[in-house]
A and B are shown apart, each in its own frame.
Chain A
Amino acid sequence: MKPLPDRLESLLTTLETLDRGDRIQMLIELADQFSPVPPRIAQRPFAADHRVPGCESEAYVWAEPHPSGGLDYYFAVENPQGISAMALAGILGTSLSGAALDEVATVPADVIFRIFGRELSMGKSLGLMGMVNMVRAAARQQQQAAATGK
């Protein structure tokens, strides 16, 4: 199993040292700090093919090449009550942007349980996993494009 990108592993380690209340506070702070996709990347109405399937918070994901050879990841969360989706977007954006593509492509979707804990509804957890899967898919596509020279 490939290791997680360093910044993500570090964040997860921090979260796992916190009790539930402190973890929630940290996640809310991350949601508060979340910056949506800049206009140079995408503007409303956002294209449907960037929408995360299965995410009730109407999350969108974009990626653009990073000088390191990886990708920078951008997100929008259209539901103003989508606090968990905003927190996850903030985490994925800051911890995976610029990371090696092979590491991002293998981040397990159930990493969300290390972030939010096991007490998620099935619908909510699968929606959040959809965000992770969308990022993984972007990394895989970039890997394939690099391999074929396109």
Chain B
Amino acid sequence: MSKSIGERGYTKADVLVSTDWVEQHLKDKDVRIAESNEDPLLYSSNHIPGAVEIDWTRDLNDPVRRDYLGRIAFEKLMRRVGATRDTTIVLYGDKNNWWATYAFWLLQLFGHENAKIMDGGRLKWIKENKPVTRDVPKYQPSNYHAPERDDTKFRAFRDQTLKHLERKLPMIDVRSPEEYRGERLHMPDYPNEGALRGGHIPGALNVPWARAVNTDDGTFKDAADLRKIYSEENKLRPEDDVITYCRIGERSSHTWFVLRYLLGFPKVRNYDGSWTEWGNLVQAPVENPSAEARDEAAA
């Protein structure tokens, strides 16, 4: 029997809710359940009754330039799903909540702190044979007012990342070891995409994001196991100033969530430009063990 969320030793356990908790709050008017997936058909194929969809491409990204939605668009989104600043927004989704944590991270840029992740995500809910529906709910539009997006606390840009590198502060590359080593420019089972150079930001640690998740049910590992990974193996300390990155900032938002909320690292930022920006930047410092090994062999 797995431990309950409260027994797992997280610094901020109330940021996670169980599938049972969600089932008990399906009709709670103060709770808005939101599904966020990579697969655009999944929500429509079925979802938790009452859940709205937050689509990461249509809803969360600026449609023209590479950036996230601004305040007006965020307010429009929240009003559409009938959420107020006091609504508890519970996010869940496919791929071990990878996209749900991405949406969660974005909510934090607008200061919507009353947000939670459903532990285990969509797959756990389905495996437990909990109710699903194809009915799309309609909520009375709210009058949500958001502050301007604050990119200073949880988001890192390339110049900040470069300074972080120069100061030799810790960074975590959460991509696969093959991507980190420069053997491929994309995650396993994904075709090549998006960057002219392979490798990683010099000095970055490689801790693949999915190590934080139990493979059997997609739930987060307990705090002791997470500390083994991040603190014992990789020598990170809670007082460290940490930047996480991946390919476009989606997988690294998962690790950002783990470090900030489950392990209580107060100063963690997600570099969402990630490798699709850094790997294309002219003269950006890169470590590529794979290429270096090839050069040595050729010498």
Contact = CB atoms under 8 A, between A and B. Distances in A.
B202 interface: no
A36 interface: no
Given A28-B41, A81-B42, A84-B40, 8 more contacts: A24-B41, A54-B189, A81-B123, A87-B41, A121-B56, A123-B38, A126-B190, A127-B190
A83 B193 contact: no
B38 A124 contact: yes
A108 interface: no
Nearest to A58: B189
Contacts of B56: 121
Interface residues of A, number: 28
B32 interface: no
Interface string B106-129: 000000000000000011001000
Interface in B32-82: 38-42, 44-45, 55-58
A31 interface: yes
Contacts of B94: 81
Contacts of B58: 119
B103 to A, nearest CB: 14
Interface residues of B, number: 23
Interface in A7-31: 21, 24-25, 27-28, 31
A119 B190 contact: no
A31 B45 contact: yes
A126 B40 CA distance: 14
Interface in B247-262: 248
Interface of B: 38-42, 44-45, 55-58, 94, 122-123, 126, 186-187, 189-191, 193-194, 248
B189 A55 contact: yes
Contacts of A102: none
Contacts of B194: 122
A28 B44 contact: yes
A129 interface: yes
Contact of B57 (A21, A55, A121): A121
Nearest to A24: B44
Given A81-B42, A83-B39, A122 B193 contact: yes
A24 B57 CA distance: 16
B190 A123 contact: yes
Contacts of B191: 53-54, 126-127, 129-130
Nearest to B43: A24
B190 A83 contact: no
Given A119-B57, A123-B186, A123-B187, A84 B41 contact: yes
A35 B56 CA distance: 30
29 contacts: A24-B41, A31-B41, A54-B189, A54-B190, A54-B191, A56-B189, A56-B190, A80-B126, A81-B39, A81-B94, A81-B122, A83-B41, A84-B40, A87-B41, A119-B55, A119-B57, A120-B57, A121-B38, A121-B57, A122-B193, A122-B194, A123-B38, A123-B186, A123-B187, A123-B193, A124-B38, A126-B190, A126-B193, A127-B191
A121 B42 CA distance: 14
| Most chain B C-beta atoms within 10 Å of own C-beta, residue among A21, A121, A124, A126 | A121
A116 interface: yes
Nearest to B187: A123
A101 B248 CA distance: 38
